[in-house]
Chain A
């Protein structure tokens, strides 16, 4: 279970399953770290799907689909009553 390279510097795919808890605890959970994570995630998506030479509607429509899904999860409690059941 001991590894040659210290756990700290590995990427997620190289971390062995037993080392996963220590790897998660090692992450930076300060506000600056969380903001950095959001910023990295945003730029990863932006540079892959939107900021390309011949982007299409897929870049922005994936964002809108995720937005619709998010709002659906938000209102699920009220929408539960509208299912097609014989007895509610």
Chain B
């Protein structure tokens, strides 16, 4: 069982051909582009959802921050749909790979920081020192703030990876336990099955929440720097 547990997180290969790119591109076919005034039901529902989310997510930004609307919306759509598709049986979730999450987090965070330094240099540098610190503590606090700034992209990526991976692993483990317990003691198996159902509901929520958190934090970093 040991090797089996982590086998679902390896790069998906089919007969020796890596198809991971296909799996990453797959969620895009589920979002048809709305071309008309009144679209089919799928496109209408998605349009309504996107308008709802973008209204809340972009309300805190000023004009300069709202130019990031497309980026933030596509980010939350991608992460949300990829996480939700990963809950289907046997599927591969690209967001469990740290490489991909780092690839998303570092450019976005770096973009907000560089933008902040270009447009509001003094204010960006002033972020390194909270207001009202006593004079002797200043050097140490600057170092701490620098470290906390550089940890932001790493934290973004690792948070997403760890949450999704942990959820998938728990589902695998508890599902395996339910199967084994069915022959030994059906009552315990029933309890474990109820735990599995609750866990799946949690995973559904986590899938969406992680997408939201990722995007929200990026938008917060943006708000700081515009």
Which residues of A are in contact with B by a Cβ distance under 8 Å? Answer: 42, 46, 50-56, 59-60, 63-64, 67-68, 71-75, 78-79, 81-82
Which residues of B are in contact with A by a Cβ distance under 8 Å? Answer: 4, 7-8, 12, 14, 19, 26, 29-30, 32, 40-42, 85, 88-92
Q: Can you name 20 A-B residue pairings with CB atoms under 8 Å?
A: A42-B29, A46-B32, A51-B32, A53-B40, A54-B41, A59-B42, A60-B30, A63-B29, A63-B30, A68-B88, A68-B89, A68-B91, A71-B12, A71-B92, A74-B12, A74-B14, A74-B92, A75-B7, A75-B8, A81-B4
Min distance, Cβ B94 to any Cβ of chain A, angstroms: 13
Min distance, Cβ A13 to any Cβ of chain B, angstroms: 28
Residue from the set B19, B42, B88 with the largest chain A CB neighbour count within 10 Å? B42
Once the chains bind, are B90 and A71 in contact (CB under 8 Å)? yes
What separation, in Å, do the CA atoms of A82 and B7 have in the docked complex? 13
12 other contacts beyond A52-B40, A73-B14, A74-B12, with CB at 8 A cut-off?
A: A50-B32, A50-B40, A51-B32, A55-B41, A56-B41, A59-B42, A67-B91, A68-B90, A71-B12, A71-B90, A75-B8, A82-B4
What separation, in Å, do the CA atoms of A79 and B4 have in the docked complex? 9
What separation, in Å, do the CA atoms of A46 and B29 have in the docked complex? 10
Identify B4's interface contact among A42, A51, A63, A78, CB under 8 A: A78
User: At the interface, is chain A mostly helix, strand, loop or mixed?
Assistant: helix
